[in-house]
């Protein structure tokens, strides 16, 4: 490592110390919240599960009826099956059991479910007799208790959590329709260079198509950020000033590629220096060595943070990915 190169770890510390998290919040529908960051704990409005329920297809019974050293013989309620969503209204007495399906509410007083495959079922004129061998079942088995997964009033997800697909399903199961989230970070992105052309333009001799904006936009959007594409900017002080004005008016971060190498025009550094405290660094990483970072101030009092990346496509993407996770 050259003596004048800033170690990556030190650059990360400096950047991290300078930045402040977004605090602005908004309320979003659950369907729109994937990838967003929770601004407040989500407190469960219900218990999960909402009732004691069966974890198996089988027969629900009183655990106290189970015999330890002899077969247990029970009479099933004739013609009755308890399905999920249709609780049983009639009582089930001692010595009785009732056919039950997975997810169905446990009938009052019953605390155990025997899987159907462990039962010997014999039919007669009075109904079914269910026989269990000793030792195949313990009292309380195969019953999911109310609030076992999540108790009423407990946090389902904490503030600061990034919402994933499974989280949306969890919150939907709780009946949560809206969420308080932090607004997305707004990043204004543009590329600089007289040699650059955008897609659809003719490619004159000595010119190249701009690829950096598209790779960087993809990387930013994958992080869930709001990207403001400001296009291409020529190596011209007036054009650069106008683009910076547009960026500072609406963005939290200004991300550029090109204009930070040692051979770049002096006015680029002068313009940035006039708007803030931008530092030009040589970072000890290959590719991605040339780099500029610092605050840019707008006339209206807004401040945005500049991340100026090198123009080489591989260097720009690697450096952008490195600093995106500060």
Is residue 128 within 8 A of residue 116, CB to CB? The reply is: no
* pLDDT value for 261: 53
Task: Give residue 212's pLDDT band: very low, low, confident or very high (50, 70, 90).
Answer: confident
Is residue 256 within 8 A of residue 190, CB to CB? The reply is: yes
**Helical packing angle, 8-18 and 313-324, nearest 10°:** 60
Tens digit of each residue's pLDDT (9 = 90 or more) over 95-154: 999 999 999 999 999 999 999 999 999 988 777 899 999 999 999 999 999 999 999 999
Tens digit of each residue's pLDDT (9 = 90 or more) over 30-56: 999 999 999 999 999 999 999 999 999
CA distance 234 to 273: 19
End-to-end CA, the chain: 22
Closest CA to 144 of 102, 175, 174: 102
pLDDT at 19 over 50: yes
Closest CA to 196 of 178, 183, 211, 177: 211
Give pTM, 2 decimals: 0.76
Is residue 211 within 8 A of residue 309, CB to CB? The reply is: no
- Bridge-based pairing of strands 253-257 and 186-192 is parallel
Angle at 194 between CA 190 and CA 197, to 5 degrees: 65
* pLDDT value for 322: 57
CA distance 134 to 66: 8
Phi, psi of 319 (to 5 degrees): -65, -40
DSSP state of 139: T
- Structure tokens belonging to residue 170: 């969890």
Phi, psi of 221 (to 5 degrees): -65, -30
Tens digit of each residue's pLDDT (9 = 90 or more) over 153-180: 999 999 999 999 999 999 999 999 999 9
Mean pLDDT to the nearest integer, 255-271:
65
Helix (H, G, I), strand (E, B) or coil at 151: coil
CA distance 310 to 120: 75
What's the chain's average pLDDT?
87
Q: Give the number of other CB atoms < 10 A from CB of residue 257.
A: 29
Tens digit of each residue's pLDDT (9 = 90 or more) over 271-302: 777 777 877 677 777 776 777 888 888 777 78
């Amino acid at each position: 490592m050259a003596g004048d190169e800033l170690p990556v770890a030190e650059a990360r510390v400096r950047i991290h110390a300078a930045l402040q998290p977004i605090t602005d919040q908004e309320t979003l529908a659950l369907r729109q919240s994937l990838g967003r960051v929770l601004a407040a704990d989500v407190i469960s409005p219900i218990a999960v599960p909402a009732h004691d329920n069966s974890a198996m297809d089988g027969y629900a019974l009183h655990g106290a009826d189970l015999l330890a050293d002899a077969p247990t013989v029970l009479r099933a309620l004739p013609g009755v099956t308890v399905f999920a969503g249709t609780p049983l209204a009639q009582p089930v007495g001692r010595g009785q059991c009732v056919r039950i399906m997975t997810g169905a509410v446990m009938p009052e007083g019953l605390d155990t479910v025997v899987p159907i495959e462990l039962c010997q079922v014999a039919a007669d004129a009075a109904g079914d007799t269910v026989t269990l061998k000793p030792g195949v079942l313990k009292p309380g088995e195969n019953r999911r208790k109310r609030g076992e997964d999540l108790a009423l009033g407990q946090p389902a997800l904490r503030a600061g959590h990034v919402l994933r697909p499974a989280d949306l399903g969890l919150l939907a199961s709780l009946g949560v329709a809206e969420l308080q989230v932090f607004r997305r970070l707004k990043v204004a992105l543009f590329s600089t260079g007289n040699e650059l052309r955008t897609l659809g333009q003719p490619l004159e001799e000595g010119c190249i198509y701009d690829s950096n904006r598209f790779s960087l936009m993809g990387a930013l959007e994958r992080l869930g950020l709001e990207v403001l594409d400001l296009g291409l900017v020529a190596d011209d002080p007036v054009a650069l000033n106008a683009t910076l004005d547009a960026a500072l008016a609406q963005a939290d971060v200004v991300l550029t590629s090109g204009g930070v190498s040692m051979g770049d025009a002096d006015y680029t550094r002068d313009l940035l220096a006039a708007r803030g405290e931008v530092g030009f660094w040589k970072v000890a990483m290959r590719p991605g060595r040339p780099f500029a970072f610092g605050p840019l101030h707008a006339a209206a009092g807004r401040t945005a943070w500049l991340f100026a990346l090198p123009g080489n496509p591989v260097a720009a993407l690697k450096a952008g990915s490195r600093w995106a996770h500060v």
